[in-house]
């Protein structure tokens, strides 16, 4: 793993595919709402934003123009912020739809794309990620100079990431989201978390996200173990464990900042993350710095 320091990656997931306005009035849905909440998050301090888009009915969408609109708005006030687009297949499982945001260029180009490393079940829905799909998305990102956000829900998915690395489909340095608390996968307990951490490849940065009521404990695991945190309404719409108070994204991010302060840790800046991940510097240049073959026969 990349040697930990006082700084940590704070990966902000504001919207996701599941929460609706009827579930929580604070969930941002329109491009303007999402951009406004990202702006507030940037002012507080984040490293990466993990974006999903919704259509006019509030349903999950793969529309690349919507992605472009949101990314353009974000880049207007935060040109260094690391932008990750979701490549989830829960709404539309075909490769063309899932890989669509990867073709965006210029100021719309994402720095990263999510890559769930295996199929899995959620409480009410399956997420299908066949080997050929995972490898196809990894290859598309490699060719475009876009960094995979490696999503692992258990240790088996980290094993598969190692397989992709050996095949040359994912290049170092790596970034992992370790997602705990899904009923079908690793739980938010020290043993499950430690088993995943023990398998982490060298040259990796990582953050921990918790689903539902495990979000706060998972954030604590990440911070206390020298890693980062994924946080936002995508994973949890409640502020407290007894579900008596709905959260806002600002509530959840502020909680992470308070925990980090107690541990003498600070949020890694996007510029620092870009250097660690061998990315372009932002400000009009996005994604990973592409390897050159100039001078080679």
Read off the pLDDT of residues 87-97 as tens digits, 9 standing for 90 and up: 998 877 899 99
The whole-angstrom separation of Cα 249 and Cα 254 is: 9
Task: Specify burial of residue 2 (Cβ count, 10 A radius: 0-12, 13-18, 19+).
Answer: middle
Tokens 């997931």 identify what position? Answer: 13
Fold designation for 7-276:
TIM Barrel (3.20.20)
Task: Specify burial of residue 81 (Cβ count, 10 A radius: 0-12, 13-18, 19+).
Answer: buried
Contact between residue 215 and residue 209 where contact means Cβ atoms under 8 Å apart: yes
Tokens 């998915």 identify what position? Answer: 157
Mean pLDDT by 10 residues, the chain (297 residues): 80 97 97 98 98 95 96 98 94 91 97 97 92 98 98 98 98 98 96 96 98 97 97 97 95 98 97 98 95 47
Instruction: Give, rounded to a whole angstrom, the gap between the first and last alpha carbons of the chain.
Output: 33
**Quick one: pLDDT at residue 211?**
97
Contact between residue 96 and residue 290 where contact means Cβ atoms under 8 Å apart: no
**Quick one: pLDDT at residue 123?**
87
**Quick one: pLDDT at residue 241?**
87
3-state DSSP of the chain: CCCCCCEECEEECCCCCCCCCCCCCCCCCCHHHHHHHHHHHHHHCCCEEEECEECCCCCEECCHHHHHHHHHHHHHHCCCCEEEECCCCCCCCCHHHHHHHHHCCHHHCCCEEEEECCCEECCCCEECCCHHHHHHHHHHHHHHCCEEEEEECCHHHHHHHHHHHHCCCCCCCEEEEEEECCCCCCCCCHHHHHHHHHCCCCCEEEEEEECHHHHHHHHHHHHHCCCEEEECCCCCCECCCCCCCECCHHHHHHHHHHHHHHCCCEECCHHHHHHHCCECCECCECCECCCCCCCCC
The whole-angstrom separation of Cα 133 and Cα 118 is: 9
Adjacent-strand bridge partners of 176: 150, 206
Domain spans of the chain? 7-276
**Quick one: pLDDT at residue 3?**
56
For residue 204, CA distances in Å to 118, 175, 246 come to 19, 6, 34
Q: What is the pTM of this model?
A: 0.96
**Quick one: pLDDT at residue 93?**
86
**Quick one: pLDDT at residue 90?**
80
Hey, CA dihedral for 204, 170, 235, 184, is it positive or negative? negative
């Amino acid at each position: 793993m990349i040697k930990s320091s006082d700084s940590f990656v704070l990966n902000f997931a504001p919207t996701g595919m599941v929460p609706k306005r009827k579930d929580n009035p604070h969930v941002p849905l329109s491009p303007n709402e999402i951009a406004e909440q990202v702006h507030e998050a940037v002012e507080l301090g984040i490293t990466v934003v993990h974006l999903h888009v919704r259509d006019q009915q509030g349903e999950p969408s793969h529309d690349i123009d919507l992605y472009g609109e949101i990314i353009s708005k974000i880049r207007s006030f935060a040109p260094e912020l690391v932008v990750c687009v979701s490549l989830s297949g829960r709404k539309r499982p075909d490769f063309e739809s899932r890989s669509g945001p990867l073709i965006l260029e210029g100021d719309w180009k994402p720095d990263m794309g999510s890559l769930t490393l295996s199929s899995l079940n959620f409480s009410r829905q399956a997420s299908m990620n066949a080997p050929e799909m995972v490898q196809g998305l990894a290859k598309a990102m490699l060719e475009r100079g876009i960094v995979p956000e490696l999503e692992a829900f258990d240790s088996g998915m980290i094993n598969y990431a190692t397989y992709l690395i050996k095949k040359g489909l994912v290049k170092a340095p790596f970034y992992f989201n370790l997602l705990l608390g899904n009923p079908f996968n690793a739980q938010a307990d020290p043993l499950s978390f430690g088993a995943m951490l023990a398998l982490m490849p060298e040259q990796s940065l990582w953050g921990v996200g918790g689903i539902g009521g495990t979000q706060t404990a998972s954030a604590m695991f990440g911070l206390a173990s020298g890693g980062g945190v994924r946080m936002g309404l995508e994973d949890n719409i409640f502020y407290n464990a007894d579900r008596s108070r709905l959260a806002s994204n600002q509530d959840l991010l502020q909680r992470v900042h308070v925990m980090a302060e107690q541990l003498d840790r600070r949020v890694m800046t996007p510029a620092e993350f870009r250097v660690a991940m061998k990315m372009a510097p932002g400000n009009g240049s996005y994604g990973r710095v592409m390897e050159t073959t100039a001078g080679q026969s």
